[in-house]
Amino acid sequence: MVFRPQLSPLARRYGAAAFALCLLAILFLSLAPAEATPAPDLGGDKVRHALAYFVLTGLGLYTFGPRPVLLGGILLLGAGVEIAQALMGLGREGDLVDLVANLSGEGSALLLWRAWGWRSRAR
């Protein structure tokens, strides 16, 4: 059985709203012109990519569970953003290493989710 928290309808709505806001933030910060987006020093560009996709995936897993459509959609989002950056020419560059960072954030969230579920079942 896959670990899945039992959420109230209100918690599920808040989780879905947080997921949507995180998704919109990633899209804006990834596709807006480079000079229009803040770049806080969180240890480098790749760390920011991994952290953003870790949070997005974590919110998605918590709210919707580990659905293949969710995980595949986030994977396609990361790839699509990198392709769009390569094609749009607004001071952005698509980067294969950024895609790897995106996937590492998603994978880390999924591994933590699975480990937490295994830990919860072991009790």
| CA-to-CA separations, 100 to 9, 51, 56, 90, in angstroms, rounded | 35, 12, 16, 22
Percent of the chain at pLDDT above 70?
87
When mean pLDDT is compared across 21-30, 35-44, 47-56, 62-71, the lowest value belongs to 35-44
pTM, whole model, 2 decimals? 0.87
The model's pLDDT over 84-98, given as tens digits with 9 standing for 90+, comes to: 999 987 778 888 999
